[in-house]
Structure 1
Amino acid sequence: MGLCVAMFTLGAENIRKVLADPPLILKVIARHDPDAYEAARGAKVGFFARLFGRKIEARAPVDFELGSDEVRETDMDKAWHGIHYLLTGTADGGDEPLNFILAGGTEVNHSRVGYDGARVFTPEQVGAIDAALRSVDDAVLRSRFNPAEMTALDIYPSVIWNRDPNEDDALGYCLEYFQSTKAFIAAAVEQRAGLVVCLT
């Protein structure tokens, strides 16, 4: 197990709904757990709350339907931080839109999501990310690969960068996930979809 970055496509209208009712993000990220959203909204009362007499507050149902082209998902496995470094030259900063893995977009104000919360990007922002990624290829990333600096900056997982590439190709690992991420974002642009990014 370890830290991974997951990405989900989401339409502009549903992004607006999530920002208005942040627990809705669980209908995207934890959509296979139908009780997660209700529990987060406080519509379900746990055992101890029931035991001590807490009442359920009635809340109006939220109209939130996921379209057939929404919630495609991918992840960057543990390559996310290495890719961020290769795109920005930093451990946690960098210029927009290439810093999208760790910054940018709009934070969803709901603390029960992933390791560090979730962020959403509008379709327009996803278009800007896609345009920036189109100018980056494997050769560019190879030229930026600096195992000593990545280890010094504690780029996660920091134990892999100085390994012998014949035994454990850390750069190849990052390049593989970079290409799949780049393709995922290009497909999101074709669908005019926004993006949810979450560190899990």
Structure 2
Amino acid sequence: MSMIGQYACVTPAELDRALGDPEWALELVGEWMEAEAEAETETEAAGSSQSAPARCMDVDKAWDALGFLLRRAAFPVDIVHGEAAVPDADDWGYGPPRYLTPEQVRAAAGALAEISGERLTEGVGPADLAAAEVYPAIVWERGESLDYVREHYEQLRPFFRTAADQGDGMLMWLG
């Protein structure tokens, strides 16, 4: 089983409800993920590339490398683990979910716009990630490039921009 970094955009009202009823939020996010996976399959089958902006996304196993690189860059918001825990939430995979407020999402989107994937990984190689025991260590020990991390980072940038533009907060967890 792999630890996958997961994200869900939530309106301020949905965030408020999630903070008081994390079981409701887990069910809601599960429905979104299922609907988006189904819509993606239908879009691919139809040969179309147009779809509504996603409410959910994941960064696969790149989450820990992203966290390492963002801490190194003194990023102003913890977009990997969130800034606060969802109170009284059960485990959503590998621990309870955390969240960002709409204001924190806006700050993150602004900071993401300033740092390209190339700049984020500049001067860092697989040996650095292996030495820091960044998950999944076996990938870095094999000397794999950071292209995988850059690709996921570049997907996060518009995801956060869209969330910020819509005034959304964000739930995040390791699933």
The TM-score range, normalised by the shorter chain, is 0.7 to 0.9
Give the drift of 1:110: 1.2
The two structures, once aligned, show a CA RMSD in angstroms of 2.5
Q: Does 1:137 align with 2:108?
A: no
Query: Equivalences for 1:13-28 in 2 at 5 Å?
Result: 13-28=13-28
Q: Does 1:195 align with 2:170?
A: yes
TM-score of the aligned structures, taking structure 1 as reference length: 0.70
Q: Does 1:80 align with 2:63?
A: yes
TM-score of the aligned structures, taking structure 2 as reference length: 0.79
Q: Which runs of 5+ in 2 are unaligned?
A: 34-51
User: Which digits, 9 at most, give the CA deviation of each residue in 1:88-142, with x for residues without a partner?
Assistant: 139xxx6531x22024144342123221110121211100111111111123223
Query: Equivalences for 1:19-38 in 2 at 5 Å?
Result: 19-31=19-31
Amino acid at match of 1:172: D
Tell me, yes or no, if the aligned pair for 1:117 and 1:198 is still in contact at 8 Å: yes
Tell me, yes or no, if the aligned pair for 2:118 and 2:150 is still in contact at 8 Å: no
Q: Which runs of 5+ in 1 are unaligned?
A: 34-68
Aligned partner of 1:158 in structure 2 is: 137
Number of residues of Structure 1 aligned to a counterpart in Structure 2:
157
> Cα gap change, 1:189/1:197 in structure 2, threshold over 3 Å: closer, same or farther?
same
Give the drift of 1:156: 0.4
Determine which structure has the larger helix proportion and give its number: 2
Structure with higher Rg: it is 1
Aligned partner of 2:80 in structure 1 is: 101
Q: Does 1:177 align with 2:136?
A: no
Q: Distance in 2 between matches of 1:177 and 1:70?
A: 17
